[in-house]
């Protein structure tokens, strides 16, 4: 899941940058193409403008033959969008000569910036007759005694927009195809690049579930150090656990022997008050040593990665043993455990927990004990197994249920045992992250529910 999440984040990051780059590139190319089209269109208009200026300056060209060198039929077609106009500026009443296409209209003037030279060519967009959008070039011409003139030529700007629109459509289609190819390539690269991490994630899950012990296979040079360190960590973990087990066993033997000597010496002086006190405290010491060594043993086993135990065989074996042990009571033990139920932990811990529960139920049951195993999903979305042990004995009150879970507390001294069974179940379940609760069984006696992590 985490590898997939990383792949998704990388893909979204790369896709975002790809789309942004394609979008910016498209905008830049469209802008550059617009500039190129406008320059080409202006060049065409300036050819006509220079022709008009040349005709205007030629003394042998009569006024009625002005612009005879402009060979564009659209200048004769009314309201065609192609116009020229020559305006004399220094007469009391400006004289205007224009192309036939202008009909009765006229061309507006472009605003003249203060920095523009008087004889410079100016270009821009204006609205012509019938609100046509026009691209216009104009130039001021001073002919000395013959006067000064403003020469203007305009063309239909729709040609520019149509050309740019066609280019933008082709650009959009091309860049969409390019973006799609880039996104597919990015997705493939992300999946291919993260495939080793996904494989490591799957193998780690297999190690946790007990299906493997190490990371196997060849990995890329960038991932190989991670695999080596993970395997080294697993090996070091196993080595630490083995050393801990050895130390726990050695400590148990080292303490029990001198403690037994102390108790034997105290027992030899049974009438001595000091000996009785020594024996009393020695019993406390023995219980404490047993308790803490047991906790150390359980904690050491819990650090082992990948321990998985089949639940059904353990429960059935305990049930058969209890039936033989309690044959004198004629007990009937019913077991309902699915074959695919698995406990994420070691077999001897499961045997100890279930064995204590079933043993306690058999002690108090009249004739029936029920053991049921369920596979469930916890509130935090973890897979768990629920082991329910019911009996038809006298049961317990809520206050009594709270007492029996405490270490060494027994409600009935007539029954055999040390009073440690249920407290051991509580401690072991807690170490595995599970829970243990007592309630009322449908059979009428006590119900013990044990929830443990499932594999």
Distance of alpha carbon 100 from alpha carbon 75, whole angstroms: 6
Model confidence at 168: pLDDT above 90: yes
Q: What is the DSSP string of 167-181?
A: HHHHHHHHHHHHHHH
pLDDT category, 126, cuts 50, 70, 90?
very high
Question: What pLDDT, on the 0 to 100 scale, is given for residue 157?
Answer: 92
pLDDT of residue 303: 52
Contact 432, 424 (CB under 8 A): no
Give Cα separations from 130 to 104, 133, 152, 196 (angstroms). Answer: 11, 9, 18, 69
Give mean pLDDT, residues 154-159: 92
Report the 3 state secondary structure along 380-422: CCCEEEEEEEEECCCCCCHHHHHHHCCCCCCCCCCCCCCCCHH
Domain 309-453, architecture per CATH: 2-Layer Sandwich (3.30)
Yes or no: domain 2-162 corresponds to CATH 3.30.450: yes
pLDDT band, very low/low/confident/very high, at 405 (cuts 50, 70, 90): low
Average pLDDT, the chain: 80
Residue extents of the structural domains in the chain:
2-162, 224-302, 309-453
Largest CA distance in the chain: 155
Query: Residue 14 and residue 9: Cα distance in Å, rounded?
Result: 9
Domain 2-162 identical in fold to domain 309-453: no
Query: Which backbone phi and psi does 347 adopt, to 5 degrees?
Result: -65, -45
**Residue corresponding to tokens 């038809």:** 392
Whether the pTM exceeds 0.85: the reply is no
Q: Token pair 């984040």 is at which residue?
A: 9
Tell me the residue ranges of DSSP E strands in 192-269. Answer: none
Top-ranked range on mean pLDDT: pick from 95-104, 377-386, 446-455: 446-455
Which range has the worst mean pLDDT, 1-5, 178-182, 226-230, 373-377? 1-5
Q: How crowded is the C-beta side of 160, counted as CA atoms within 13 Å?
A: 26
- CA dist list (Å): 194 to 189, 199, 325: 8, 9, 57
447 beta partners: 390, 439
Measured CA to CA, the distance from residue 114 to residue 448 in angstroms comes to: 98
**Bridge partners for 140 per DSSP:** 150
Mean pLDDT for the stretch of residues 176-191 = 86
């Amino acid at each position: 899941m985490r590898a997939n999440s990383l792949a998704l984040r990388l893909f979204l990051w790369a896709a975002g940058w790809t789309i942004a780059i394609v979008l910016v590139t498209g905008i830049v190319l469209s802008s550059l193409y617009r500039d190129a089209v406008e320059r080409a269109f202006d060049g065409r208009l300036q050819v006509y403008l220079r022709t008009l200026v040349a005709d205007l300056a030629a003394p042998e060209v009569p006024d009625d033959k002005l612009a005879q060198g402009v060979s564009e039929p659209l200048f004769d077609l009314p309201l065609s969008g192609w116009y020229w106009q020559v305006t004399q500026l220094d007469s009391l009443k400006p004289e205007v000569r224009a192309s036939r296409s202008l009909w009765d209209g006229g061309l507006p003037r472009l605003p003249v910036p203060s920095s523009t030279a008087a004889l410079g060519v100016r270009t821009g967009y204006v609205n012509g007759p019938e609100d046509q959008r026009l691209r216009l070039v104009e130039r001021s011409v001073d002919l000395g005694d013959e006067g000064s003139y403003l020469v203007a030529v305009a063309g239909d700007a729709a040609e520019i927009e149509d050309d740019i629109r066609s280019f933008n459509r082709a650009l959009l289609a091309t860049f969409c195809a390019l973006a799609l190819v880039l996104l597919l390539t990015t997705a493939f690269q992300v999946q291919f690049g993260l495939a080793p991490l996904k494989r490591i994630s799957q193998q780690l899950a297999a190690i946790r579930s007990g299906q493997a012990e190490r990371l196997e296979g060849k990995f890329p040079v960038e991932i190989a150090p991670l695999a080596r360190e993970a395997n080294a960590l697993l090996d070091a973990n196993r080595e630490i656990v083995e050393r801990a087990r050895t130390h726990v066993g050695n400590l148990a033997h080292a303490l029990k022997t001198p403690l037994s000597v102390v108790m034997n010496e105290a027992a030899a002086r049974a009438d001595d008050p000091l000996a009785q006190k020594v024996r009393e405290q020695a019993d406390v010491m023995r219980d404490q040593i047993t308790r803490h060594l047991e906790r150390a043993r359980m904690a050491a086993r819990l650090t082992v990665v990948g321990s998985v135990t089949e639940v059904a065989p353990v429960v059935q074996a305990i049930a058969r043993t209890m039936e033989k042990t309690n044959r004198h009571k004629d007990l009937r033990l019913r077991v309902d455990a699915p074959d695919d139920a698995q406990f994420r932990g070691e077999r001897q811990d499961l045997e100890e927990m279930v064995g204590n529960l079933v043993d306690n139920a058999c002690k108090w049951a009249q004739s029936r004990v029920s053991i049921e195993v369920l596979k469930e999903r916890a509130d935090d979305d973890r897979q768990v197994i629920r082991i329910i042990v019911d009996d038809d004995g006298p049961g317990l009150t809520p206050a009594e249920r709270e007492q029996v879970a405490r270490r060494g507390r027994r409600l009935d001294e007539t029954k055999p045992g040390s009073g440690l069974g249920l407290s051991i179940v509580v401690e072991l379940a807690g170490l595995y992250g599970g829970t243990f609760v007592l309630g009322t069984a449908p059979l009428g006696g006590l119900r013990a529910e044990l929830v443990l992590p499932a594999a």
